[in-house]
Amino acid sequence: MAKAYDQTFKNKIIKERLSGLSVKSISIKHGISISVIHKWLKTTKEDSSNKSPLINVTELIKTREISFKLSGHSVSVSLDDLSDLLEALKS
């Protein structure tokens, strides 16, 4: 039967790979097969590519406005007023 790994452990392995360690060294260090590590990396890559971008830069440049949700409310702010909003949120 295959061993089950929790998401926290998988995330640790993924972070090790993203920090520059080779898949082979991670495999040896943790006793996990190389194919399993590659599967986790592929799944993570697919998950991140299915998410919409945090900021749509093209739309931001075109409208000069940024829209986002804040405490459940939709907020739109012009780029000219964005620094004032950020200062207000700090206080």
Range of the structural domain that residue 34 is part of:
7-49
Residues 12 and 28 in one domain: yes
Task: End-to-end CA distance of the chain: give it in Å, rounded.
Answer: 54
How many domains, in total, are found in the chain?
2
Q: Are 68 and 75 in contact (CB under 8 A)?
A: yes
Please tell me the distance from the alpha carbon of residue 20 to that of residue 12, in angstroms, as a whole number: 13
50 residue type, one letter: N
**Is pLDDT of 57 > 80?**
no
pLDDT, tens digit (0-9, with 9 covering 90-100), for 22-33: 999 999 999 999
The verdict on residue 2 lying in a domain is no
pLDDT, tens digit (0-9, with 9 covering 90-100), for 78-88: 888 878 877 88
